[in-house]
Amino acid sequence: MPVEITWWGHATCTVEDAGTRVLTDPLFARRLAHLRRRRGAVPPAQARRADAVLVSHLHADHLHVPSLAALAPGARLLVPRGAPRAVPGLRRLRGLRITEVVPGDEVRIGGVLVRAVSARHDGRRLPVGPHRSPALGYVVEGEARTYFAGDTGLFDAMAEEVGPVDVALLPVGGWGPYLGPGHLDAGRAAQALARLAPRAAVPVHYGTYWPIGMDAVRPHEFHAPGDEFVRLAAVAAPQVAVRLLGHGERMRLEVAR
């Protein structure tokens, strides 16, 4: 049975596995504060249909309340524990069933089992707010095992905690000219890939949003991370098939169990 993955831009992906649609960090905005979408159309209406929605942490480009409010009703929404307290807008959402999770929690949704894993990232709601909620990654297990890393730095126990996976959705960039701590760039993502050793990988979290008025400031940080990850991954993890997707493009992986 195949697993199908569509990248809609930034950290937003649809994972279709075992008859279940899982959506990650939905962001459907043309503009978010000082950021504007510079590449790829806003995801179409079909992207808003999901059985499960996974939110990795509380930053507004990952937990975007207007995008969550636009989802088709009935989805199960998994968020880091403490998110509804830190982001009151979550409590006003109608039609979504919210479940708070921490690393190690498992939730069965349709034909898949979703397991929360830890991430090394400051997951607070910015620009202010106490650190009430953990940053998370998720492993979606159906016919395949798909790891969505969210935002994270490289850490020693990553492969052990995530476990064996077939597909890794790894961040390789960001939305500005500099990446702070707690992020993967193309090089660190290639190191993570070597540790995780999946069958396939898709680079995400790059080449979509950029600060208004900064088009000429380190533009390679916007354009290059995907290609750079492909190049570095071929050296660090040559056994892994890396798929460089365009916005709205889909990949299919056949899985035999």
Cα four-point dihedral sign 145, 149, 154, 157: negative
Closest C-alpha among 221, 133, 209, 111 to residue 173: 221
Is pLDDT at 126 greater than 70 in this prediction? no
pLDDT category of residue 198 using cuts at 50, 70 and 90: very high
Between vectors from CA 52 to CA 16 and to CA 115, what angle results, nearest 5°? Answer: 90
pLDDT value at position 5? 98
pLDDT value at position 177? 85
Please write the tens of the pLDDT for every residue from 166-181: 999 999 999 988 888 8
pLDDT over 70 percentage in the chain? 96
Task: Label residue 10 left, alpha or beta by phi (over 0 means left) and psi (-120 to 50 means alpha).
Answer: left
pLDDT category of residue 25 using cuts at 50, 70 and 90: very high
Mean pLDDT of the chain: 94
Is pLDDT at 217 greater than 90 in this prediction? no
pLDDT category of residue 129 using cuts at 50, 70 and 90: low
Whether the CB-CB separation of 143 and 17 falls below 8 Å is answered with yes
Is pLDDT at 12 greater than 80 in this prediction? yes
Is pLDDT at 57 greater than 70 in this prediction? yes
Q: Which of 41-45, 78-82, 91-95, 159-163 has the lowest mean pLDDT?
A: 91-95
pLDDT category of residue 94 using cuts at 50, 70 and 90: confident
